[in-house]
Structures are given as C-alpha cells and as structure tokens.
Copies of this chain bind each other. A is one copy, B any other.
Amino acid sequence: MLTCCVRHLPRRLSTLKSPQCGLPLQHSGKHCSTEPGETPDPVRTLVRLCVDRHYISVGEGNAELFRRGVSCSYGPLGLELRRNLLEQWWHSVTRSSAHVFGINTVNISGDTAAGGPEQLRIVESESFQRIFEKQKVSKEQLVQMLQELLLRSPPVRKNLFKGALEQFVPSLELVNGKLPFGLAETGLCFQPSGGSANEVMQTSLVWFCSPRTSSQWLDHWSRQRLKWWRKFALSPSDFSSGDVPEEELEEVVSRGVRIMYNFPWGQEPLETLWIRGDTELLQAHKGARSKLQCREDRKSVPHVVSVTGNLDRGMMAFLSNSLQLQQRNVVTHKLSLVLKLHPTLAPVKVALDISRGATVELRQVCEGLQQELMEAEVSVWPGYLKTLPTSVEHLNAKYDEMGVLFTMMISENTLESGLLKVRSRDTTIKETMHISEIKNFLCRYISAADNI
C-alpha cells in the first residue's frame, strides 16, 4: 500500500506526471499517497511503489542503492523487468547488423598487474590474517609481505571494455578480416564507493571500424541508442542525447556522446559513447600492429567506438518515466497511480482473477488459461490463488501499480458461455471476450506494441 506522504517538497521534484495538472489531488482510499491539495514527492512515491509491488526488496539500504542507479536486490517483478530490458538491449544490438557478436569475458582478471592503485581487488581474508599473526617480523617486513599479497590478489573489472579489446583478434577471423564489426556483452561490473563497492549491470558494445569512419559510426550508434530508449518510453522527451564537452574527455577520447534521462532530481547518464582511437587496442595486444590490421586496409589499426550503458539506472529511468497519476473516479476526483510500462517491458502481462462463485471450477479454468498463456511466453499473475476476497476497485488499483497490462475476471458466467471480462490498464475500459480468443488477442497486442 502506498501510504507515504511528504509535506515539504522541493519544487523541482514535483514532476510526477498528472493527466490533469490543475486538478487538486484527493484521497484515493487505501492507495492514497497524498493529502488533499498536496503534490506527492515523486521519488519517494516511486521507491515506495517499487517496494510494495515487488520490484525491489524491502530495506533502507536497498532503496538507496536503487535510487543511486546501481544494482540492488530485486523482487520478482523487478527481476522480470530487468530480464526484459536486457533481452531488448541484446536484440537491438546483435540483430541490428550481421556483424555484432556476443561474447562473455571473466570478471576476475588473471592479469594481477592490471589497473592502478584505485583498483578493486578480491582478497581472501584468511591470507591477510596469517600475515597479521606473524610475530617475528619487523613492521617493514610486514608491510612488504602485505603489499605483495595485495598485488597478487586478482583485480575485478570496472567495465567490460578491456575484455572486448582482448577478443578482437579471434573475432577478426570470424568476419573474415573485414571491418566494421562489433562485440556485445552484458554483465556485472564493480565500482568503488566510499571505501565499499557497488555492482552495476553494464551493457557494452565495442565497435571496430576504419579510422576515417569512426565519427560517422559514433553518430550512427548515438541515433540508434536514443531511438531505442525512446521506443519504450511513455514520455520520450525525457530521454535526450548530447555531446560531451571537450574538457570532460579522457586523453584517448576524441569525441563523446551521452544519452541522458531527466530524473526528478536532474539529468543522469544512461549510456555513453566514445571514440577511443587505437591506443588501447594496441596496448591490449602489446603493440602487435600486424595482428590488428584488417584485410582491406593494411596500413592502419582499427579505431574503437565504445557504447557503455548502466542497465540498473536504465531500469529506474523506465520505472520513473512510466509512473502516472490517473483519475479513477470522475465524481469523487479520486486519483491513483498507474505504472504504464511499455507492453514489451511490463513484467506481468496478465492477471487472472475469479469473482465469487464455484471456486473449484473457476480455478480450473484459470489454471488451463494460465498454462496456455505461459506456453505462448505471456507472463501471468495468478491472482486467483489469493484466498481472501478483495474488492474489484482495490484489485484494479493494485494491478495498475504493478503495471499489469490486462486483468481478466473469470466468473460463473465464463463457465456457461466462455465469456470473460478483460480490463485494460491503459484505457481502464472493460471488454467482454471469449476465452478462446484471449491468447491470440494478447500475442497480437504485445507484438504490435513491439513493432511500433
């Protein structure tokens, strides 16, 4: 239940989308999140909803990780959303061209010399303890032993970039020595965070092309990526792209573009594209130019365009972007929250519920329909398993907060006529459909949304 209210609200946070902006917000029963006349804090509202509706797990610390755009502990709905998002990212990158190959590199680098002093390393506590306990050594000897142990401990990766550079040579064989081509990877990376560390689900496309085309490719991929983010957005203009100012560029980078999302607290980057030249590729292969040259251009080493994203923050962007206040009752002006996630991303497509009646038979109908839908890869929420009766209004509010696309109510009438009521999250309209049409209706609806 959303019960959190905020009384003192910074103005710039109040960007929660309402279809009727002038309307004073009212109590909306159990799902109320505001006092009359007040605007809810969109961040708190979002986090509370995500916890209540099993997107993220309970806990102050966990909500804070989520808000900072790093991996947190996800509940069943959050996990499904992240799976859908990863799947879509993967398809968009690997199917956009025949020349992107997926790879998987390891997190722990065997190359213990890699990385500067700020590197995160994995250590075995026990090995340190054993040195701590040594009595007969001087302070200097102790420090030296510990220093050696630390340098022997394997570093963990901060990003997927270096792994892809190392895979360049075997991949060149795959494409018959021809440029351009790309290597795609998704995986956990670690980031230092005030003495501790955070993990992030990164997406990475490393694109190898001839030096003179790198700028065109940067533009190509920037357009593609922005289009992708906007495809799933309810309010596409919150996603934008822009060149990185020259003074922020690293030494090896000649140009950069960032895809940003306009969070209630300000803009944050979701994906970053860099033209990185050939320096790091040469370093990764110890300067062996001859191995790196492609068939058509024997003089130059390929240039690298990197596209790196943070999928945890991307997930928060879509959740934030989809949350809407909607008027539920024209007479009472009651408002409720709806998570209008894109049909492709929504973790639950259908909720199956039963109205009062011959429960055993109704459940059997639900189980049959659930089986049919799951075989068609349509995710189902088995609301019919709940044994406590709930009002229809309460149920709709709950499913709207979960972002469930359709709610289907199986009743006594379904047993007789095969007809059931189907409520749409987005239109709130209830239609009557025959049970035999449901699967096709849903598959058509989802695939239509996917192809827009």
Contact = CB atoms under 8 A, between A and B. Distances in A.
Interface centre among A154, A156, A170 (most CB of B within 10 A): A170
A108 interface: yes
Interface string A52-74: 00100110010001000001111
A7 interface: no
A386 B173 CA distance: 10
Contacts of A121: 122-123, 125
Nearest to A175: B385
Nearest to A138: B139
A192 B114 CA distance: 20
Contacts of A234: none
Contact of A139 (B71, B122, B129, B142): B142
B124 A192 contact: yes
A95 interface: yes
A117 B125 contact: yes
Number of copies of this protein chain within its complex: 2
A106 B71 contact: yes
B124 A120 contact: yes
Contacts of A169: 58
A197 B124 contact: yes
A71 B382 CA distance: 36
Interface stretch (A39-47, A75-83, A430-438): A75-83
Contact of A199 (B57, B72, B108, B139): B108
A285 to B, nearest CB: 12
Contacts of A387: 176, 178
Interface of A is mostly: mixed
A146 interface: yes
Nearest to A82: B104
Q: Which among A106, A119, A142, A197 has the highest number of chain B CB atoms within 10 Å?
A: A106
A415 interface: no
A308 to B, nearest CB: 18
A198 interface: yes
A244 interface: no
A102 interface: yes
Nearest to A122: B197
B122 A118 contact: no
A439 interface: no
A98 B146 contact: no
Interface residues of A, number: 78
A128 interface: yes
A175 B385 CA distance: 8
A203 to B, nearest CB: 14
Nearest to A375: B95
A449 interface: no
Interface in A115-137: 117-129, 132
Contact of A123 (B65, B123, B386): B123
Nearest to A101: B76
A61 B110 contact: yes
Contacts of A73: 103-106, 163, 166-167
Nearest to A73: B105
Contact of A152 (B102, B153, B178, B195): B195
B195 A124 contact: yes
A358 interface: no
A102 B105 CA distance: 25
A318 interface: no
A382 to B, nearest CB: 5
A335 B231 CA distance: 51
A385 B174 CA distance: 10
A132 B125 contact: no
B126 A147 contact: no
A150 interface: yes
Contacts of A75: 101, 103, 167, 170
A188 interface: yes
A374 to B, nearest CB: 6
A370 interface: yes
A89 interface: no
Can you list the 8 inter-chain pairs with the closest CB atoms, starting with the nearest?
A: A76-B101, A139-B139, A74-B104, A79-B102, A79-B104, A98-B382, A117-B126, A122-B197
